[in-house]
Amino acid sequence: MRVTTVFNRVLALPGASVESVSFTDQGVVLGLRRRRRLLVCPCGRKQRGRYDTSRRRWRHLDFGACQVWLEADIHRIDCRGCGRVRTEELPWARPGARHSRDFEDVIAWPAQRMDKTSVSRLMRCSWEAVDRIVGRVVVEHVDDARLEDVYRIGVDEISYKRGHKYLTVVADHDTRKVIWVQEGRDKEAFEKFFDTLGDERSEQVEAITMDGSGIYRPVAEGRAPQAEICMDPFHVIKWVNEAVDRARTAQAAEALIPSAQWRSTRAALRKGAENLTDKQRDIINQLRRTRYRLWRAWELKEEFRDVYRVIDPDEARTYLKSWCTRALRSRIPSMRNLVQRIRNHFDAIIAAIELGLSNSLLEGINSKIRVIQRRGYGHSPESLSTMIYLCLSGITITLPTER
């Protein structure tokens, strides 16, 4: 059997056949011959005429311990469709690539699971080559279709560079995938998402979850006024716990009691009633007898938690209004301040309860992004954004062995 026949059967390259094989210092070089005569422009137009021709090589998957290179003529087209001179599209390689499609897919698959340095060593290529390959794979897979049928989204920020820089991340609650990443943590970053989404698709958005920072809310209300703003329950409960902490601090200061004696009290106050140990339950009972206002702050916290745990969503609005009244009557300064904060976000808190939405999806995504950051030992915002899309936007890499 001829060696060209062996490579043709083993590689099964799309749109080309091996016509020559040569062994060089770089490895095995396979000369390719096209099967089709029509040239395809990136805009999709097909034509026979060419502008000029050059010879190019592409790195392919290794053959044992030998590197394999594909070599073929590549043409530029004076395309009448887009009115520009452009390089033709090839079936075995992505546009602008110096690696075959199979090679890049085998790079991208482990890049979803391990650091780029390990991938570059495994595949015998540079770290920069892995980075460029990941970028091309993401560009191919992450298209405008991800923004179709977007109805319920969540937005949050993630820090990088030791907390001095931020990315804005938008995820789809229904698909549980990242659909947008943008450098920055401000209104402009979220505005760019809606610019890309477009007015027609923005009108389809039904709900937007976010934390209580208020950075993204004006943009959401301006660009998708019909959408329900949903305040993340985790952050609301955090406000309540902070109010109880301030009440505890005030009680300790009034009684001139050393803070060391209040450490166990703080742990008991932060716990839910169902999770208290016997010792902590004794502390709570003692507070009821000796520090009634502090005990009342803890009781209000537990009553507030009921709005997320046991109260029927249809009754949440009435219950929360009643809770605010009871908190004001407690005359606890930190609780009165909390009531004002809750009233400022009242509709958003109720919307989250009625729709059963939270930002837990974004918090989980942020945890996965932290893993990507640790795996990469530092990323530029562009490189980190690309890795987020590769790992968290639902990209499925089909390996050559699976086709």
Is-contact 180 196, C-beta < 8 A?
yes
Beta strand 207-210 pairing with 228-231: parallel
- Residue 271 pLDDT level (bands cut at 50, 70, 90): confident
Q: What is the pLDDT of residues 331-357, one digit of tens each?
A: 899 999 999 999 999 999 999 999 999
- Residue 71 pLDDT level (bands cut at 50, 70, 90): very high
Is-contact 300 326, C-beta < 8 A?
yes
Q: Which of 19, 48, 54 is nearest to 36 (CA)?
A: 48
Q: Which of 338, 329, 315, 305 is nearest to 234 (CA)?
A: 305
d(CA 205, CA 228): 9
Torsion angle defined by CA atoms of residues 159, 164, 167 and 171, in that order, rounded to the nearest 10 degrees: 20
CB atoms within 10 A of CB 241: 13
Which residue would you say has higher pLDDT here, 339 or 214?
339
pLDDT of 202 reads: 95
- Residue 256 pLDDT level (bands cut at 50, 70, 90): low
Which residue would you say has higher pLDDT here, 67 or 160?
67
pLDDT of 255 reads: 56
- Please check the confidence at residue 51 and state whether its pLDDT lies above 90: no
Report the predicted TM-score, pTM, of the whole model to 2 decimal places. 0.88
Amino acid at 49: G
The pLDDT of 369-389, averaged and rounded, is: 84
Percent of the chain with pLDDT over 70: 96
Q: Read off the tokens for 11.
A: 């590689």
C-alpha pair distances (Å), 30 with each of 17, 22, 115, 117:
9, 7, 31, 28
Instruction: Please list the alpha-helical segments (H only) found in 256-359.
Output: 263-270, 278-290, 292-309, 316-329, 333-344, 346-355
CB atoms within 10 A of CB 209: 28
The pLDDT of 143-166, averaged and rounded, is: 88
pLDDT of 253 reads: 61
- Please check the confidence at residue 259 and state whether its pLDDT lies above 60: no
CATH superfamily of 144-232+360-398: Ribonuclease H-like superfamily/Ribonuclease H (3.30.420.10)
- Report CA torsion sign: 374, 371, 179, 217: negative
Q: Which of 112, 219, 203 is nearest to 155 (CA)?
A: 219
